[in-house]
């Protein structure tokens, strides 16, 4: 095991549908925000190893590490093998059904770490070093005797219950009066022995103080059962089953249970370019992910989760309609304003560290198409639309007809200036197209059909005229532009252009020529090459989808497998991949990328099934 600072791909995620923690393959929890995804971090070593705070559990000796999720769960096992023995650290946040919770006293938020010695004898070190408010405040950890260790902070209390004695670490210069800032211990475990810790957060009193011992084992069993039961609801049977299941489990971890929102990632400011300033806070829900989220959840058979997400979508957008914000917090409120945390050094020195996201104030016209398509997926061809949904769709139609030709910030959220992005126009076309389809099926009434049809035709005509660059023989990023953008592949995904059309074939060839430097990796556009960003992982799965729709199935599989090789050892993806080193870049794990895995797998499965069907018919 390397002694260096962990890379992004060295992390794995655990969570409970309220918040998430990142656990490194060194056995350290380096990121945890409680009580919500966008709350202040209590462990933030991933953004500053010195002052961010961490909770590490590892052997005192040099060790080799491997890890895995227990099959079809989000329970993580990290195995440390040393010259003298082997320990397994099991990390999870307890979850179970609401019905079972009603019969049990469980903390509002809990993280459990269990260390089991499986072979030999190992001296294990525990270093519990929380830092409040993104490392700005050293805690005063109070010894509450048999009720564990407690940290009061603001309106909440953190409680650590340990099965072994812990020693208080104080700043030596301040003497006995100094506050206890960390808890440390060394324990020798022999084969068959185990110790466990429960760390919990309560916003109200009386807090639940979990008892050590048997209750931990019961929670582990309930948690494994719950995740397996959830994973077992998937109806997906097709290629890359393991990766699709893991992607679904990641999506579930990133969904906020009480509202149904899905955050883009559980982290902030993991850099898109090493050492650079492309560091953003992704702990919010983007409307952009709406259509692919509903498509993926439905495609896998998670109707309840899709419904919860659409309910959140309707709730979140209610107050601002007909205008839609780009992103919302988990309860549908405006995301916090963007600020910089200058006291943190950033991941691998990548500064600034930002919290909040200024993209919330941008104009991004594509979100209308995303929302309308999400609803269209959700209701299918036979379901009825209720009054509220019909009203929202009519408002979207009017807004799109009025504003589609305005320049905007586009899906990549460029902050320099607004441009007439092709993708934004495409999604406006999608909005009107799906609204007209729902109207034709009798699902949506009182639509200005003639106006919508006229504007839809105008958008198509403009895309074909202004977005097509005859010299480069490709659809370009913005009208009249010369830059290639991988999102042009979505013209096929959204049904605007046929994958086998000459223009799409030429566009794909140009994307591969200009944006793919390594098999399985695609940059989002030429600008990202200039900015030294990594390849955008989602774009690889767009290419797979495109190839599957083109009928180039073997090639689709090749690209899919090449792209999947860039996942980490537990099948997790960040936003981007460094084409030279293969390192993960950007926030981690990323919902958008995992949605891409699922969407591409669904397309490939369907395309392969069609091919088999056709082959049988011709035989």
Beta carbon of residue 207, minimum distance to another protein (angstroms, whole number): 4
Beta carbon of residue 146, minimum distance to another protein (angstroms, whole number): 3
What is the CB neighbour count within 10 angstroms for residue 211? 13
Nearer to another protein, 52 or 156 (CB): 156
Asked whether position 612 contacts another protein by CB under 8 A, the answer is: no
Q: Which helix (H) or strand (E) holds 354?
A: strand 354-355
Q: Which stretch binds another protein (CB under 8 A): 96-104, 258-266, 515-523, 550-558?
A: 96-104
Segment 571 to 590, residues that bind another protein, using CB under 8 A: none
Nearest Cα to Cα of residue 66 among 43, 41, 94, 86? 86
Build a one-symbol-per-residue string for 180-219: x at contacts with another protein by CB under 8 A, - elsewhere. Answer: ----------------------xxxxxxxxxx--xx----
Nearer to another protein, 103 or 616 (CB): 103
Nearest Cα to Cα of residue 97 among 9, 24, 17, 36? 17
Tokens coding 191: 């084969």
Beta carbon of residue 179, minimum distance to another protein (angstroms, whole number): 15
Q: What is d(CA 8, CA 2) in angstroms, rounded to the nearest whole number?
A: 14
Beta carbon of residue 252, minimum distance to another protein (angstroms, whole number): 22
Asked whether position 465 contacts another protein by CB under 8 A, the answer is: no
What is the CB neighbour count within 10 angstroms for residue 126? 22
Segment 103 to 122, residues that bind another protein, using CB under 8 A: 103-105
Nearer to another protein, 207 or 521 (CB): 207
- In Å, the largest CA–CA distance within the chain is 86
131 touches 42 (CB < 8 A) = yes
Build a one-symbol-per-residue string for 289-318: x at contacts with another protein by CB under 8 A, - elsewhere. Answer: ------------------------------
- Concatenate the DSSP letters of all residues of 524-551 into one string: SBHHHHHTT--EEHHHHHHHHHHHHHHT
284 touches 264 (CB < 8 A) = yes
Length of the chain equals 619
Instruction: Round the CA-based radius of gyration of the chain to a whole number and report it.
Output: 25
Tell me which of 2, 71, 136, 152 binds another protein, using CB under 8 A.
Answer: 152
Asked whether position 146 contacts another protein by CB under 8 A, the answer is: yes
**Which residues 6+ apart lie within 8 Å of 248 measured at CB?**
231, 234, 236, 296, 300, 302, 598
Tell me which of 4, 102, 176, 615 binds another protein, using CB under 8 A.
Answer: 102
Tell me which of 3, 145, 165, 174 binds another protein, using CB under 8 A.
Answer: 145
Q: Which stretch binds another protein (CB under 8 A): 4-12, 28-36, 153-161, 388-396?
A: 153-161
Q: How many residues bind another protein (CB under 8 A)?
A: 28
Q: What is d(CA 14, CA 73) in angstroms, rounded to the nearest whole number?
A: 10
Nearer to another protein, 206 or 442 (CB): 206
Nearer to another protein, 107 or 586 (CB): 107
Spacing of C-alpha 207 from chain mean position: 30
3-state secondary structure 246-268: HHHHHHHHCEECCCCEECCCCCE
Nearer to another protein, 107 or 239 (CB): 107
Q: What is d(CA 578, CA 229) in angstroms, rounded to the nearest whole number?
A: 36
Beta carbon of residue 210, minimum distance to another protein (angstroms, whole number): 6
Tell me which of 161, 189, 313, 355 binds another protein, using CB under 8 A.
Answer: 161
Q: Please report where in the chains the tokens 């806070």 appear, as a residue.
A: 281
Tell me which of 157, 178, 191, 472 binds another protein, using CB under 8 A.
Answer: 157
Tell me which of 83, 147, 457, 612 binds another protein, using CB under 8 A.
Answer: 147
Q: Please report where in the chains the tokens 């077992």 appear, as a residue.
A: 232
Beta carbon of residue 149, minimum distance to another protein (angstroms, whole number): 12
Asked whether position 239 contacts another protein by CB under 8 A, the answer is: no
Nearer to another protein, 40 or 117 (CB): 40
411 touches 432 (CB < 8 A) = no
SS3 state of residue 352: coil
Per-residue buried b or exposed e for 567-584, using 16+ beta carbons within 10 Å of the residue's own CB: bbebbbbbbbbbbeeebb
Beta carbon of residue 202, minimum distance to another protein (angstroms, whole number): 7
Q: What is d(CA 483, CA 205) in angstroms, rounded to the nearest whole number?
A: 58
Spacing of C-alpha 340 from chain mean position: 22
Tell me which of 27, 130, 156, 266 binds another protein, using CB under 8 A.
Answer: 156
Asked whether position 101 contacts another protein by CB under 8 A, the answer is: yes
Asked whether position 223 contacts another protein by CB under 8 A, the answer is: no
Q: Please report where in the chains the tokens 């769960």 appear, as a residue.
A: 73
What letter would DSSP give residue 358?
Answer: G
Nearer to another protein, 106 or 468 (CB): 106
Asked whether position 165 contacts another protein by CB under 8 A, the answer is: no
Q: What is d(CA 447, CA 391) in angstroms, rounded to the nearest whole number?
A: 10
Q: What is d(CA 99, CA 107) in angstroms, rounded to the nearest whole number?
A: 15
Beta carbon of residue 151, minimum distance to another protein (angstroms, whole number): 13
Q: What is d(CA 101, CA 107) in angstroms, rounded to the nearest whole number?
A: 10
Q: Which stretch binds another protein (CB under 8 A): 21-29, 54-62, 97-105, 389-397?
A: 97-105
What letter would DSSP give residue 140?
Answer: -
Q: Which stretch binds another protein (CB under 8 A): 34-42, 141-149, 513-521, 528-536?
A: 141-149
Tell me which of 3, 4, 155, 617 binds another protein, using CB under 8 A.
Answer: 155
Nearer to another protein, 14 or 159 (CB): 159
Task: List phi, psi (to 5°) of 455.
Answer: -70, -35
Asked whether position 258 contacts another protein by CB under 8 A, the answer is: no
Asked whether position 454 contacts another protein by CB under 8 A, the answer is: no
Beta carbon of residue 199, minimum distance to another protein (angstroms, whole number): 14
Which residues are near another protein by CB under 8 A?
101-105, 144-147, 152, 154-157, 159, 161, 202-211, 214-215
């Amino acid at each position: 095991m390397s002694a260096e600072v962990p890379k992004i791909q060295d992390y794995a995620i655990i969570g409970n549908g309220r918040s998430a923690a990142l656990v490194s393959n060194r056995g350290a929890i380096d990121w945890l925000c409680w009580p919500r995804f966008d709350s202040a971090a209590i462990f933030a070593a991933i953004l500053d190893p010195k002052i961010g705070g961490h909770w590490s559990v590892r052997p005192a000796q040099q060790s080799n590490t491997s890890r895995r999720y227990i099959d079809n769960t989000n329970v993580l096992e990290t195995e440390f093998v040393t010259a003298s023995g082997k320990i397994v650290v099991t990390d999870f946040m307890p979850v179970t059904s609401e019905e079972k919770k009603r019969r049990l006293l469980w903390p509002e938020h809990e993280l459990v770490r269990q260390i089991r010695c499986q072979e030999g004898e190992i001296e294990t070190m525990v270093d519990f070093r929380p830092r409040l408010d993104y490392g700005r405040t050293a805690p005063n950890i109070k010894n509450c005797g048999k009720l564990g260790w407690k940290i009061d902070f603001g309106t909440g209390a953190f409680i650590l219950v340990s099965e072994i004695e812990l020693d208080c670490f104080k700043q030596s210069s301040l003497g006995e009066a100094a506050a206890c800032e960390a808890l440390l211990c060394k324990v020798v475990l022999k084969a068959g022995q185990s110790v466990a810790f429960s760390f919990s957060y309560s916003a109200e009193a009386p807090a639940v103080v979990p008892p050590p011992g048997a209750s931990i084992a019961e929670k582990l069993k309930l948690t494994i059962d719950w995740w397996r039961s959830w994973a077992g609801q998937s109806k997906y049977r097709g290629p890359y089953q393991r990766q699709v299941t893991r992607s679904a489990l990641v999506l579930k971890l990133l969904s906020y249970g009480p509202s149904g929102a899905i955050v883009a990632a559980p982290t902030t400011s993991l850099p898109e370019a090493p050492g650079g300033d492309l560091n953003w806070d992704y702990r919010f829900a983007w409307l952009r992910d709406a259509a692919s989220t509903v498509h993926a959840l439905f495609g896998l058979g998670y109707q309840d989760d899709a419904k919860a997400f659409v309910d959140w979508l309707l709730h979140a957008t209610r107050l601002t309609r007909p205008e839609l914000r780009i992103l919302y917090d988990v309860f549908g409120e405006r995301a916090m304003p963007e600020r910089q945390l200058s006291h943190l050094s950033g991941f691998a020195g990548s500064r600034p560290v930002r919290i909040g996201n200024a993209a919330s104030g941008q104009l991004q016209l594509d979100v209308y198409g995303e929302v309308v398509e999400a609803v269209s997926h959700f209701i299918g061809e036979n379901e009825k639309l209720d009054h509220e949904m019909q009203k929202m769709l009519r408002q979207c139609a009017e807004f799109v007809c009025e504003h589609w030709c305005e320049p905007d910030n586009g899906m990549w959220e460029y902050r320099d200036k607004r441009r007439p992005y092709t993708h934004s126009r495409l999604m406006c076309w999608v909005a009107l197209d799906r609204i007209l389809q729902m109207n034709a099926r009798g699902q949506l009434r009182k639509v200005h059909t003639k106006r919508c049809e006229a504007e839809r035709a105008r958008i198509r005509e403009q895309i074909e005229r202004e977005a097509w660059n005859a010299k480069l023989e490709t659809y370009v990023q913005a009208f009249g532009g010369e830059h290639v953008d991988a999102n042009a592949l979505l013209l096929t995904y959204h049904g605007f252009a046929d994958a086998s059309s000459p223009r799409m074939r030429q566009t794909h060839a140009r994307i591969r020529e200009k944006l793919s430097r390594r098999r399985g990796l695609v940059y989002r556009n030429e600008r990202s090459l200039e900015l030294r960003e990594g390849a955008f992982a989602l774009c690889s799965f767009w290419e797979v989808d495109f190839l599957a729709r083109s009928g180039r199935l073997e090639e689709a599989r090749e690209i899919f497998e090449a792209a999947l090789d860039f996942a980490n050892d537990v099948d997790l993806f960040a936003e981007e991949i460094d084409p030279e080193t293969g390192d993960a870049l950007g926030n981690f794990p990323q919902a958008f990328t995992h949605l891409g895995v699922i969407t591409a797998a669904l397309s490939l499965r369907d395309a392969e099934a069609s091919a088999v069907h056709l082959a049988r018919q011709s035989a």
